[in-house]
């Protein structure tokens, strides 16, 4: 994947995450600035999603730790340690931090 394609993929992913978060109806604040999406939960905890261009990864920082995702051959973001899909990871992390079940609908 070229650097330009990587940036396009990340930009599309961050927009899709924002849209999915908006659709949950949860009381969340989020800010997408400079390619970094910061999601703030009612308890003021945060999930931060950003691009790591040199390694072509999407990184997520959450209360439970840091996560690195690769873009696989099927054009999905998956956790580099066990291939967990982005949507599954985000559902788990958001549910933990929102202290209620969260189910995001990502393409």
Summarised one tens digit per residue, pLDDT across range 4-44 is: 999 999 999 999 999 999 999 898 999 999 889 999 999 99
Q: What are phi and psi of 38, to 5 degrees?
A: -110, 120
pTM: 0.92
pLDDT at residue 74 in the model: 86
Share of the chain above pLDDT 70, in %: 100
Q: Is the pLDDT of residue 106 over 90?
A: no
pLDDT at residue 31 in the model: 94
pLDDT at residue 107 in the model: 78
Ordered by start, the domain boundaries in the chain are: 3-96
Mean predicted lDDT score pLDDT of the chain:
94
pLDDT at residue 102 in the model: 93
Residues 6+ apart with CB under 8 A from 9: 1, 71, 75
What average pLDDT does this structure show over 96-101?
A: 94
Nearest to 60 by CA among 42, 43, 85: 85
CATH of domain 3-96: 3.30.920.10
Structure tokens that stand for 63 in this block: 């209360």
């Amino acid at each position: 994947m070229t650097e330009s394609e990587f940036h396009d993929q990340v930009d599309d992913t961050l927009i899709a995450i924002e849209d999915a978060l908006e659709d949950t109806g949860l009381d969340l604040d989020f800010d997408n600035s400079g390619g970094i999406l910061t999601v703030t939960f009612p308890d003021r905890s945060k999930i931060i999603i950003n691009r790591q261009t040199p390694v072509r990864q999407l990184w997520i920082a959450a209360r439970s730790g840091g996560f690195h995702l690769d873009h696989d051959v099927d054009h999905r973001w998956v956790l580099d340690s066990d291939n967990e899909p982005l949507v599954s990871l985000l559902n788990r992390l958001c549910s933990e931090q929102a202290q209620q079940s969260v189910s995001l609908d990502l393409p």
